[in-house]
Structure 1
Amino acid sequence: MSLYGLLRTSVSGMNAQSTKLSTIGDNVANSDTAGYKRASTEFSSLLMANSKTNYNSGSVVSSIRYAINEQGALSYTTSSTDLAVQGDGFFVVNDPTGMPFLTRAGSFTRDGNTGNLVNAAGFTLMGYDISEGDAQGTLNGYANLVPIDISAMNMQASASTTGIFTANLPSDAGIVAAADLPSTNAATADYTAKSSIVVYDDLGSEVVLDIYFSKSADSTWEAAVYDQADATPGSSFPYSSAALATQTMTFDANGNLTSAGTMTIPVPGGQNVTVDISKMTQLATDYTPLTATVDGSAPSTVTDVEIGENGIVQAIYENGSKAAAYRIPLADVPSPDKLQPMAGNIFSTTLESGDVTVGFPTESGLGSLVSGALEQSNVDLATEFTEMIVAQRSYTGNSKVFQTGNELLDTLMNLKR
């Protein structure tokens, strides 16, 4: 029986080395595959019960391990939608049926049919829609994730809601009579200074606001805001509609504002714009506008996409404005090396890997996103070829053992002759 055991043992050795050569072949074939994680073959022995005078040969068993948790080198590209994870974590992607998987392959491009970001294997990148208020995420699952749809960000307008206006008002300006203040909207209205600013309504149309400043008493000023579209051609006053907002501003002996530091202006067809005027001054110099900024933008198409290391996806529009639309999460498991690799460079969770947890890049121990980069395969060709030589030699050795056992059986059979 020991000769038959010898044959079985050598066959198990050849099978084990064949498995090792198969993993080496996969590794070499995918040495240039972005996000590929190398496989390796480990061996363990199976021993039979033996006595002091009789030995029964056992066999060898192979098992496959994946170096999923081993970081591959990053290579930089010219595409802002190429993504790499620097550190722990995986992208969440869906297959065409909507089944979620994990991957480190971040070669995402815009799909011509859906507008979604898909990688080279056709899996769709998933994230949270910030515009819908889903920026917090779900810690223990894939709930509320949606495809990152670049086409959905086209032709968006943003209504103005906040602004800052800072200027110096001349302390030696003459006082305007109450009957002639701009807030009266009379044809005889007088003022000390005037500025115009652009805001945007709900449809993204420009609305020009005329802001009049008039000294109504010592250290006291009135600000009156009108829609320029309602002005009388050639003379402004009277406007065809009343002032959108008026504000009384008072200053101390040092020229600093002591009254309310904000002014609320209802934009026709838009939102209420809260303007910060807390830095207004009244000093002995001319009227000097210093800051005039208002948020909002006109309708514009997306020209590019910017993805930050924290996973926030911003659309860059033709007019130079930016708008955050999605946030890309990262998922992780307690034992990444126990994930199950599948075709398309994706991984599925197993009992051994543990349950998935979802978070955001740079938070809770997760890595950061690198835009314009890809994680390369962690295969080292020099190591693989060395292992190939070793496996080839071991296979040859096992085959020689099998051949020797076969020859011994032939000798045994020939004794009968």
Structure 2
Amino acid sequence: MSLYGTMRTGVSGMNAQANRLSTVGDNIANASTAGYKKASTQFSSLVLPSGQGSYNSGGVNTAVRYSISDQGTFSYTTSDTDLAISGRGFFIVNGSDGVNYLTRAGSFQQLSDGSLVNSAGFKLMGYPYSSTADPTIVINGFEGLSEINLKSGAMSTTPSSAGYITANLPANEVVGYTKPTSLIAYDSQGNSRKLDFTYEKTADNTWTVSASYTDPVSGTSQSALATTTLVFDAAGKLTTPAGGLVTTSALTIAGAELNAIEIDIAGMTQLGSPFSSTGDINGSGASAVIGYEISSDGIVALKYESGDLVPKFRISMADVQSPDKLKPLAGNVYTQSNDSGVIVMGYAGNGSYGTILSGALEDSNVDIAEELTSMIESQRNYTANSKVFQTGSELMEVLVNLKR
């Protein structure tokens, strides 16, 4: 056995324990970092060929393993933009270098420009929302993504397109009796437009209803929006028009378009009681964003003053075949490595992807008790390896002194 080999083995052991202490130190320092995944040092023996009757001491090799696939517990917060993933998958974020990365750190905050940025300065990415098609799944790329911005819809309006009227027309009134009512509709620019509906009895069990609009500034009346004959049976139930629908004509008002509106009147009756009417037309006027909601499938909807929730984005997610083999970088983000497999994009709740929790953060998966135990073990083992080195050094000194 070589004394130099013994000393090298002791140094190898000290270096290995120093590496282990380094990972322990990182883990303890990041025990409160949202989405942090612990690192651990794995040991493997290094055995050198030995001669006859002589043992050639080797050493120990170390490799760092990241427990990226081990999910942490959740802490719930009061911020809707704090996001956590329950299950597989990673958020896709964009750095100041313009490169997209993966992360589980979902402590996002809204900046003044509307973007969502986590504590490390990475912007959350997603897909523009579509009600007719799901996002296209991209393998080994980040095509189709855009920055999620909560100010992308500063003002919104929903033009009217449909409505309903439920009324009772008094059966005991004389022919020629008329009764006006009105409903509010919204044009393409969010202006409210009062539509007047006039009912006139023209014969037994027969009425007409006409819809008109009068410009409040000029006083000009558009009386031909709709005129429909209403026929009731002996029980006072509506039989005409078939299907119980009335459609008004489209109208251009001061450069804005008031759409044709389909109004359901199937609930009308003609009974021996006074006139009564209720109804509503859909749509909303121009209103500003006052909030947002993020669903478990990652749909980001903006909430307007009108009470409307308008979906704008869908948070993108990504995954790889071997998450523990991803390459970690500063800022608690990861990139693809040769061993991780290719990045496959998707969205929450689809396939193997987990769901998104709004108002929650994934805790670090570091166990402080386990790390402190590892630290003590490493300290003892480092000391023991130093004793091996010290003993080899003393024996070498004895060997040198034999010459004296």
The reply to whether TM is greater than 0.5 is yes
Q: Is the 8 A contact 1:105 1:119 kept in 2?
A: yes
Distance 1:47 1:194, change over 3 A: farther
Q: 2 CA distance for matches of 1:232 and 1:416?
A: 122
Q: Is the 8 A contact 2:129 2:312 kept in 1?
A: yes
Amino acid in structure 2 at the alignment position of 1:294: N
Residues 1:289 and 2:266 aligned together? no
Offset at 1:301? 2.0
Tell me the alpha carbon deviations over residues 276-310 of structure 1, each in whole angstroms, 9 at most, x when there is no partner: 51642325244443442412x22222221211111
Q: 2 CA distance for matches of 1:366 and 1:272?
A: 42
Offset at 1:334? 1.3
Q: How does 1:8-407 map to 2 (within 5 A)?
A: 8-51=8-51, 53-112=53-112, 114-130=113-129, 136-140=135-139, 141-172=141-172, 174-176=174-176, 191=178, 193-217=179-203, 219-229=205-215, 240-251=221-232, 255=237, 257=239, 259-265=242-248, 266-268=250-252, 269-277=256-264, 279-284=266-271, 285-295=273-283, 297-407=284-394
- Aligned residue for 1:400, secondary structure, equals helix
Tell me the alpha carbon deviations over residues 217-239 of structure 1, each in whole angstroms, 9 at most, x when there is no partner: 55554332211436997xxxxx6
Offset at 1:264? 3.1
Q: 2 CA distance for matches of 1:90 and 1:57?
A: 45
Q: 1 CA distance for matches of 2:201 and 2:318?
A: 61
- Aligned residue for 1:69, secondary structure, equals coil
Q: Is the 8 A contact 1:197 1:292 kept in 2?
A: yes
Distance 1:339 1:231, change over 3 A: same
Identity of aligned residues (%): 44
Distance 1:257 1:372, change over 3 A: farther
Distance 1:276 1:404, change over 3 A: farther
Q: 2 CA distance for matches of 1:291 and 1:18?
A: 77
Q: Is the 8 A contact 1:231 1:240 kept in 2?
A: no
Tell me the alpha carbon deviations over residues 63-116 of structure 1, each in whole angstroms, 9 at most, x when there is no partner: 11111111111111111111111111111111123211111111111222x321
Distance 1:270 1:55, change over 3 A: same
Amino acid in structure 2 at the alignment position of 1:289: S
Amino acid in structure 1 at the alignment position of 2:122: F
Q: Is the 8 A contact 2:159 2:259 kept in 1?
A: no
Q: Is the 8 A contact 1:200 1:270 kept in 2?
A: no
Amino acid in structure 1 at the alignment position of 2:26: D
CA RMSD of aligned residues (A): 2.6
Distance 1:81 1:152, change over 3 A: same
Amino acid in structure 2 at the alignment position of 1:70: D
Q: Is the 8 A contact 2:163 2:279 kept in 1?
A: no
Amino acid in structure 2 at the alignment position of 1:58: G
Amino acid in structure 1 at the alignment position of 2:188: D
What is the TM-score when the length of structure 2 is the normalising length? 0.89
More strand by share: 2
Distance 1:34 1:415, change over 3 A: same
Q: 2 CA distance for matches of 1:164 and 1:408?
A: 101
- Count matched residues: 396
- Aligned residue for 1:358, secondary structure, equals strand
Q: 2 CA distance for matches of 1:414 and 1:56?
A: 24
- Aligned residue for 2:374, secondary structure, equals helix
Distance 1:247 1:365, change over 3 A: farther
